Amino acid sequence: MSLKNSKPMSENPLPFMLRRKQLADLLGVSAATIDKARLSGHFPAPIKLGSRAIGWRASDIMEWLDKQAIGR
């Protein structure tokens, strides 16, 4: 699924799990920024998907975004 299309979110639901590149594209930041925030503890922890793969639950990211919006 491409996150860069022009469909509204209601017509283009997020996948259950987001890989780092998908998450970076969705948030409009670099993958390195995701890594820095994760390592500093200011971002939801990823889930180990395999020996060399991690991902984030879309629900965890949406919850984190809601908390960021409330804190502003």
Give the CATH number of the domain where residue 25 resides: 1.10.10.10
User: Does residue 52 sit within a domain?
Assistant: yes
User: Does residue 6 sit within a domain?
Assistant: no
Q: What is the mean pLDDT of residues 34-52?
A: 93
Between CA 16 and CA 26, with CA 22 as vertex, the angle to 5 degrees is 95
pTM (predicted TM-score) = 0.72
Percent of the chain's residues with pLDDT above 70: 79
User: Does residue 31 sit within a domain?
Assistant: yes
Residue type, 35: D
**Torsion angle of C-alpha atoms 43, 71, 15, 26, degrees rounded to 10:** -80
Rounded distance, CA 15 to CA 5, Å? 14
Rounded distance, CA 25 to CA 6, Å? 14
User: Does residue 47 sit within a domain?
Assistant: yes
Q: How do residues 23-42 score in pLDDT, each as one tens digit?
A: 999 999 999 999 999 999 98
